[in-house]
Structure 1
Amino acid sequence: MRLYLLALNPTDSVTEGFLPAAARLGLDVTVLTDQPEAHRRVAGSDIEVLECDVRDFRAVISRISTHHTPDAVFTNSDHLQTQAALAADYFGLPAKDWRTALRVKDKAQMRRHLAASGLDTVWSTELTAGQDPAGLTALDVPYPCVVKPREGVASEDVVLVDGPEELVLRCKEIQTRRPHVHLVIEEYLAGELYTLETLGDGHVRHVLSGFHTRLSAPPYFIEERLVYTPHHPEPVVEQVLAQLDALGVGFGVCHTEFVVHEGRARIIEVNYRAIGDQMDLLLTRLLDIPLFEHVLRTHLGQPLPADLGARADGAAVVDYPCAQSAGTLTAAPEAADLTVDGVELTYRPLREVGERHELYHTNRDYIGVLRAIGPDQETVERVAAEYLAAQRWEFTP
């Protein structure tokens, strides 16, 4: 059976998750990408990599049509869900509804759709590429508000603003750096930030678990730590699932971010793919299920079991040490796999010593990731904190 996997840059989710899972399922894999050399460097020799303008669904369909017959078309990229859905549908293969993929990727459209459903109304407006942000001062904007790219990821250019002058300034800053980006300005939703991880085949949907997210100090929204949450309160889960149902989300894997304030759950964004930044690798280990294989099976048209047999007794935390200034990384710990007091520690550097980076105020400021899994949350958090305190990262301006 032939799996076509659409990708932009290589990610841990693909190279360490989906490609090995495809091999275990006995699938022949063709990676379609606009960065073929990067994928050839990290993919196994048995993985076929072809160049393709994967952002254009027409190019994807043409490339597949002139190659092997497809049995599945899949992507874990935020940016390629609609293209993969359209291509799969063209070949009559199981897929996400392209309308849903587009609806949740476009944050303004998502807000409009949820408001029309009657489940949640968030004040928001759009600033199209090239539009003068000065016009925003004439609107009754609720402050504080959040500015973010309409189709953004990884907290890129997401910022909290407190008044009209700052709003105009921040929008102009983003437009200068990224003149083609469309922005969304929306009311700030108060509450603690959580995630809900789900997996469905269009008929059966499993709630896998979630995380409690700690963010950096305002005005930015960098995810610095995620604490594993096996079970959210049932009323909260019901609210989030109702909103996902309204959006049409139900096929494949989905990573949803939401806040809870006074018992009310409100969606921040829906990422119609597996949770990233190595969290999906952690989740597979915690749940003790072949998560990546299950995801691929849904795209092959195979139904999910009524019971995944997932564990719910683990404890875990993931920490992301972040750069605090621009400069060249001159000292940093190496990769490590340790067991301390029954806690499995996995540290992976995300920047190499000698690399120079600017300060982005996004997830691109991550310099490493520490995954810790253990028998109870108190021990896990203690061991993780002790490990991080013993490490040293140095930047030279």
Structure 2
Amino acid sequence: MRLYLTTLNPTDSVIDGFLPAAAALGWDVTILTDQPDGYPDHEVIATDVCDPRALIDTIAAHHRPDVVFSNSDHLQAETALAAEYFDLPHKDWRACATAKNKALMRRRLRLAAVEPVRSVRLPPGMAAMPEAVPYPVVVKPAMGVASEDVVLAAGPAELAVAVREIRKRRPDDVLVAEEYLEGPLHTLETLGDGRTTAVIGGFRTTLGPLPHFVEERLDWHPDPPTGHRRHVTAALAALGAGLGACHTEYVITRDGPRIIEVNYRLIGDNCDFLLADLVGVPLHEWILRVHAGEPLPDPFPGVFPGVFPGVAEPYGPGRHSVDLHGAVVSVVADRPGVITAAPPALVPSQAPPLPQDRSTPRNGVRLWHRPLRAVGDRIDPTNTNRDYLGLIRAIGSDRAGIDSAIDAFRAAHPWVIA
């Protein structure tokens, strides 16, 4: 089995997730990327991965493909077109393009009568500020990631300032101004095989202070209410998102759930590894297998009812995921300066394994730490997820135990910026 994996910069999900998963499946892997130096010890072909014509040409000149796959936010449509060219299982490229572009996503959800969130597209060169959206509004790049240039504006003057500042960095980008959705922020994690879609569970997201939207913590929420699941899966159905993993963010407003964004790939920032441990499945392997045309396992742990034709029957949340609590805490730089001290990395091989029945972790809490910066690095905060210094991942029997373990680790191993 030959997997062509399209990617940009190396990520934990690829290096520690999908590449080991492919090896465990016994697949041969060819990496297509425009950053070939980031993947030592793998077969790599330098390719303009943002051009589907280049992907198709490169693959056609190499080994016969069996799977063409990407977990990159930026390469879903391109990869889907390449897979379709070779008559392989593929996502609908239109669904990929619509999910990625927040202006197109809002338009599609309105046309499908899924939800009435008001938004205005701000193309480059637009002089006047919009009047159709009630304040406060959130302005963001239509194709943005990592909370970059996402700002809350209380009125027209603040919106004008925010747009002007964003335009300095993104003069040619389309922006979106949309009504601010107030309420708790959650995620829903799904996996589909193109016929059936499983809802694995979700997370409760804690944000940093407004007017920015930096994600500081995600806590496992294994059993999202039925209304939330139905609303999100209705949105995914309207967008056409059915094959592979999908990470959807939504807010619980006073009028019900409302979509923030749909990321047509696996959740990142180490939450994918947390998710796999909590549900107790080889998640990265299963994602690759559905892209090879295999059906989802039946029953699937954590499957809930939804609204897709052929949606999986509800088996209820996996017992293990209910009995355990999990969290990923992002350590965020709070000042500019140079890092003079940093915590050590704690890798999964150093953590005690979960017991066979997975009901209670040994030694109380399993803790991982993934440093994202190093001693000597210069820090200039940007009020985005790019300000992360490290990620702390923990699994325990309850939140109190996890919080205690995380606090103890941070107290013993602080990040120091001078």
Structure 2-normalised TM-score?
0.90
**Could you tell me how far apart the structure 1 residues matched to 2:336 and 2:187 are?**
30
Check the 8 A contact 2:236/2:242 in 1, yes or no. yes
2:268 to 267, 276, 282: 276
**Secondary structure of 2:188's match?**
strand
CA contact (8 A) 1:146 1:158 kept: yes
> Bigger shift: 235-244 or 339-348?
339-348
Cα distance in 2, alignment partners of residues 247 and 217 from structure 1: 31
The aligned residue for residue 408 of structure 2 is 386
Which of 388, 392, 395 aligns to 1:366? It is: 388
Residue matched to 2:311: none
**Maintained 8 Å contact 2:270/2:328:** no
Equivalent position of 1:334 in the other structure:
344
Separation in structure 2 between the aligned mates of residue 99 and residue 140 of structure 1, nearest angstrom: 27
Give matches, 1:67-106, under 5 Å.
67-106=62-101
Which stretch shifts more, 237-246 or 21-30?
Answer: 237-246
8 A Cα contact 2:274 2:327, kept in partner = no
User: Which residue, 322, 346, 368 being the options, matches 2:332?
Assistant: 322
After TM superposition, list the pairs within 5 Å mapping 1:183-332 onto structure 2.
Answer: 183-262=175-254, 264-309=256-301, 310=318, 311-312=320-321, 313-332=323-342
Contact residue 226 and residue 317 of structure 1 kept, 8 A? yes
> In structure 2, how many angstroms separate the alpha carbons of the residues matched to 1:388 and 1:226?
17
Q: Which residue of 1 aligns with 2:377?
A: 355
> What does residue 64 of structure 1 align with?
59
Structure 2 residue aligned with 1:136: 129
* RMSD (Å) for aligned C-alpha atoms: 1.4
Three-state SS of the structure 1 residue aligned to 2:39 is helix
Q: Provide, for residues 13-64 of structure 1, a one-character-per-residue CA deviation record: whole Å limited to 9, x for no partner.
A: 0000000000011111000000001222xxxx2x211100000111101111
For residue 173 of structure 1, what is the amino acid of its counterpart?
E
The amino acid across from 1:24 in the alignment is: A
User: Which residue type is aligned with residue 17 of structure 1?
Assistant: G
Aligned residue in 1 for 2:315: none
Report the Cα offset of residue 5 of structure 1: 0.3
My pick for the range that moved more, 312-321 or 205-214, is 312-321
Instruction: Give CA-to-partner distance per residue, 1:264-323, whole Å, 9 cap, x none.
Output: 111100000000011101111111101011000011111111213453222111111100
1:111 alignment partner in structure 2:
106
Whole-angstrom distance in 2 between the partners of 1:266 and 1:92: 35
Does the 8 Å contact 1:33/1:54 carry over to 2? yes
2:116 to 108, 112, 121: 121
> What is the number of residues matched between the two proteins?
388
Deviations 1:330-357 (CA, angstroms, capped at 9, x unpaired):
1111113567951011112110110113
**1: distance between equivalents of 2:200 and 2:221?**
10
Alignment partner of 2:365 out of 326, 335, 343: 343
| Helix, strand or coil at the partner of 1:324 | coil
Tell me if the contact between 1:101 and 1:272 (Cα under 8 Å) persists in the aligned partners: yes
- 5+ residue gaps, structure 2, are 302-317, 353-361
Identity score, percent: 51
1:328-385 CA deviation, whole Å, 9 max, x = no partner?
Answer: 1111111135679510111121101101132111110000111110112222223223
Contact 1:317/1:381 (<8 A) preserved: no
Distance 2:56 2:6 in 1: 11
User: 2:120 touches 2:132 (CA, 8 Å); kept in 1?
Assistant: no
How big is the shift at 1:262?
A: 3.2
Separation in structure 2 between the aligned mates of residue 263 and residue 39 of structure 1, nearest angstrom: 47
Residues 117, 258 of structure 2: 8 Å contact kept: no
The answer to whether the 8 A contact 2:32-2:45 is kept is: yes
Question: Contact 1:209/1:229 (CA < 8 Å) preserved in 2?
Answer: yes
Q: Is the 8 A contact 1:343 1:373 kept in 2?
A: yes
Question: For residues 299 and 207 of structure 2, what CA distance do their matches in structure 1 show?
Answer: 33
Who is 2:5 aligned against? 5
Cα distance between partner residues in 2 of 1:25 and 1:222 = 36
Counterpart position of 1:179: 171
Equivalent residue number for residue 29 of structure 2: 29
In 2: Cα distance, 1:367 partner to 1:59 partner: 35
- Superposed displacement of residue 142, structure 1: 1.2
Aligned residue for 1:101, secondary structure, equals helix
Give 1:263 shift: 6.3
